Homo-oligomer: A and B are copies of this chain.
Amino acid sequence: MRKMVLAANANAAGSHVGEWRHPDAWDRPAANIANAVRLAQIAEAGKFDLLFLADGNGVRQLDKPDLFRATSPSDRPGVFEPVTLLSALAMVTRRIGLVATATTTYDEPFHVARRFASLDHISGGRAGWNLVTTSNPDDALNFNHSEHVARDKRYDRAAEFAKVVKGLWDSWDDDAFPQDKASGTFLHPEKVHVLNHQGTHFQVRGPLNAPRPPQGHPVIFSAGQSETGKDLSAQHADCVFAIEGNLANAQRLYADIKGRMAKFGRAEDDMRILAGVTIFAGETEEEAEALFQQLEDLVSPAVGVDYLSKMLGRKMRDYPLDEPMPDFDDEHVGHTGIGKGILRVAREEKLTVRETYKRILPQMGGNMFKGSAKQVADTMEEWFTTKACDGFMIAAPVVPTGLERFIRLVVPELRRRGLFREEYEGRTLRENLGLTRPNNQLS
């Protein structure tokens, strides 16, 4: 049986908005390379498949001073650029995969192909590219746009972008560089392939000025859950990062994405789907619950109320914290179903304003598994064996102790059940994921 894939968030910041204030959390987490090195080495010691670095090209919520003041991990402005960070981490690790985010909307295929080829050479075949089309509309303002590129155009561009990047990675045959001193043959000029791509969004001649990457193609990640996003994944992604709140929905999404692969000539086994989850694991269920509560208490009311305001689409600052949630008319709440759901729960359980924001904040990091090692392993096994996912993208509530605790408590339980590796199977990320090395399409 194939083993479960385990991926760790490389952000050196926990998934919970109150995390950074916890005594066990890193001191001074902003752009701190020592923390990032330590985190990478913890994950590698746990035999994780890969480190994953989410990213955006801008600072969010400039308009929300309080949220901005104690920002959530993905909104924090004190971060590294992903590829520079993972190149550095390549030198202090040996086997773990290194997956960085890069946007197809505000970058160029030649640059992206080149950086990930370079990272793959530096790391000996451990690079991955998380393809995103950029979700934060404000990033556009940093790239000569007055507004975000429209969704359909972004996805159309992304598909062509991925095609060009793969073509550039195939610029050279694997044996194009004999570098033979005796004969004076540095390279074989007949083993270069000039792409000459002429498309709707791009004209790119090639070839890339790097030898073919050790993996052939660095592993491509994608995460979109819209119709176009799922098609893009089915066509181009080796791994998909999926977020669903419950088992049934995750199973449905898994079948949906894998079911789309055939029309692009791909087999379902050519892709791994990873479920995003924050894991609160304890020696006992009570210990996990206590950590959860401790983090809740580290969220200042200003941050909590601003976050609630954002979810409901209404200013909440003028309502007393410890009185019941106001009974808003459902029609004037939020832009999506989320706001209505929050109000429904608050009404049914008669929650105060404070209780309401505490209830919603943990979901910021997506799904959550909470409990003893056995309870968490049970849930992971169920998701894995019932085709809700091929593995997990794990966010720790507190970094680095949450990851250490997961590795100390849950990973041995997964190993006992034969669900997770004892040792790395291969040298490259593709080998560890059980994915084949792509043939050169231009040869």
Taking Cβ atoms with an 8 Å cutoff, the residues of A that contact B are 20-23, 25, 27-31, 33, 37, 56-59, 62, 65, 68-71, 76-81, 83-85, 87-88, 90-92, 106-108, 110-111, 114-115, 117-119, 121-122, 124, 138, 141-146, 172, 177, 179, 181, 184-187, 189, 192, 194, 202-211, 298, 300, 303
**Which of B20, B30, B124, B179 meets A28, CB within 8 Å?**
B179
**Which of B118, B121, B186, B207 meets A71, CB within 8 Å?**
B186
Copies of this chain, whole number: 2
Task: Please give 9 more A-B residue pairs, beta carbons under 8 A apart, in addition to A31-B211, A59-B207, A107-B111.
Answer: A20-B179, A27-B179, A57-B110, A77-B187, A88-B91, A88-B122, A142-B204, A143-B204, A184-B298
- Between A and B, 12 residue pairs with Cβ closer than 8 Å are A31-B118, A59-B207, A68-B187, A77-B210, A77-B211, A78-B187, A80-B122, A80-B210, A88-B90, A107-B108, A111-B111, A143-B204
With a cutoff of 8 Å between Cβ atoms, the chain B residues found around residue A119 in the complex are 84
With a cutoff of 8 Å between Cβ atoms, the chain B residues found around residue A90 in the complex are 88
Closest residue of chain B to A20 (Cβ to Cβ) is: B186
Assess the A62–B110 pair: CB atoms within 8 A: no
Assess the B20–A181 pair: CB atoms within 8 A: yes
Assess the A207–B83 pair: CB atoms within 8 A: no
Assess the B81–A115 pair: CB atoms within 8 A: yes
A267 to chain B, nearest CB (A): 31
A127 to chain B, nearest CB (A): 10
C-alpha gap A141/B108 in the complex (Å): 12
C-alpha gap A314/B90 in the complex (Å): 47
Closest residue of chain B to A56 (Cβ to Cβ) is: B209
A204 to chain B, nearest CB (A): 5
Assess the B108–A143 pair: CB atoms within 8 A: yes
**Which of B81, B85, B121, B144 meets A80, CB within 8 Å?**
B121
| CB-CB under 8 A for A59 and B209, given A21-B181, A179-B29, A189-B68 | yes
| CB-CB under 8 A for A209 and B77, given A85-B122, A122-B88 | yes
Closest residue of chain B to A188 (Cβ to Cβ) is: B69
**Which of B23, B122, B194, B210 meets A62, CB within 8 Å?**
B194
| CB-CB under 8 A for A69 and B186, given A87-B84, A121-B33 | yes
| CB-CB under 8 A for A31 and B121, given A62-B194, A88-B88 | yes
Closest residue of chain B to A33 (Cβ to Cβ) is: B122
C-alpha gap A145/B110 in the complex (Å): 13
A145 to chain B, nearest CB (A): 8
With a cutoff of 8 Å between Cβ atoms, the chain B residues found around residue A23 in the complex are 181
Assess the B207–A57 pair: CB atoms within 8 A: no
C-alpha gap A87/B85 in the complex (Å): 7
With a cutoff of 8 Å between Cβ atoms, the chain B residues found around residue A210 in the complex are 31, 77-81
Interface centre among A30, A208, A211 (most CB of B within 10 A): A30
With a cutoff of 8 Å between Cβ atoms, the chain B residues found around residue A71 in the complex are 186-187
| CB-CB under 8 A for A122 and B209, given A114-B57, A141-B203 | no
A176 to chain B, nearest CB (A): 9
Interface centre among A25, A84, A108, A181 (most CB of B within 10 A): A84
A373 to chain B, nearest CB (A): 28
With a cutoff of 8 Å between Cβ atoms, the chain B residues found around residue A146 in the complex are 203
Closest residue of chain B to A168 (Cβ to Cβ) is: B142
